[in-house]
Amino acid sequence: MSKEITLNSPLDMHLHLRDGEMLKLVGPLTSKTFAGALVMPNLVPPIRTKEALLSYKARILEACKGDTFEPFMTLFFQEYSREFLEEVKDQIIGIKLYPAGITTNSENGVAAIDAESLRPTLEAMSDLGIPLCVHGETNGFVMDREKEFMPIYEGLAKSFPKLKIIMEHITTKDAVELLEKYDNLYATITLHHLIITLDDVAGGMLQPHLFCKPIAKRYEDRDALLNAAITGNPKVMFGSDSAPHPKHKKESCGCAAGVFTSPIALQVLVELFEKHDSLDNLNAFLSLNAQKIYDFKALKKDITLVKEEFIVPNIYEDFGENVVPMYNNQKLAWSLK
């Protein structure tokens, strides 16, 4: 008999769904296999009002065609009044802070991140129990941007000890080590950063579909992330940072940053955790840790995978849009049942 594994309410706690026709294409590729996902707000224009938030959530649910799936909504960080945050608190799971210009559609982000200038909003978030999600990079040398951001995380963690701070899509050993210094720091880790290094992106022929921000780092960084995930570290959770771009924007001069992993994430994670004899810790990484960190109960949704060969499609396309997944045309050891 084929070997099977059932995952309980898998969650993706960092996801880009875009909007319009691209949302219609990629939304179901997550909602089919995940019970919920934390959706990033960096649209054009970004999600900053209650009206925009509720409208976007409605479009997501419509795209996901009745699947058992909950989109966890976020706002794009700016100065918000306590009254506004009280009004939207039950509609959001967190607020996402982007340093200005550091990644896709972040031009309207925060120019200077320091505790005092952000204090009114962060104190209100802290009092109301609204987590802060952060893209933690400076504008320095690309390999050092996350490491250079560590003192900023420390400053925020010290200044607002009751505020839950999520270090999004961490990529370095430094970030893993910092997690243990402060009770209010947590992190998401992507699928691709558990597997690739910069060598895989640019060590030989350039691989545009592995190019992302934050950029993949060194072997020791990847190994630190992998160890945190497979050992069941309660401060880390899965966040794919799956970021769809049309093929012509990836395979071009000025390659867009983002790796599209949504339709293969569960298959590859099962294979990865099996390889390291850590399948007993996979549900913690994929679901339980996130529910404890964000303090919610996920929708009940069991996803069964079977150990049978699956060939990843070369491209996903519909509604006039297309996107190439990680591992396109390659064989995986596990399939969705």
Note the residue count of the chain: 337
Give, in order, the Cα–Cα distances in Å from 288 to each of 11, 178, 235, 293. 9, 22, 11, 9
Question: What's the sign of the alpha-carbon dihedral 11, 15, 18, 22?
Answer: negative
- Max distance between CA atoms of the chain, in angstroms, equals 61
For the chain, the distance separating the N- and C-terminal CA atoms, rounded to the nearest angstrom, is: 13
Give, in order, the Cα–Cα distances in Å from 98 to each of 74, 75, 111, 147, 261. 12, 11, 9, 16, 22
Q: Please give the Cα distance from 189 to 30 (Å, whole number).
A: 17
Q: Please give the Cα distance from 165 to 64 (Å, whole number).
A: 29
Question: So which residues are the catalytic ones?
Answer: 241
Judge whether 163 and 132 are in contact, CB under 8 Å.
yes
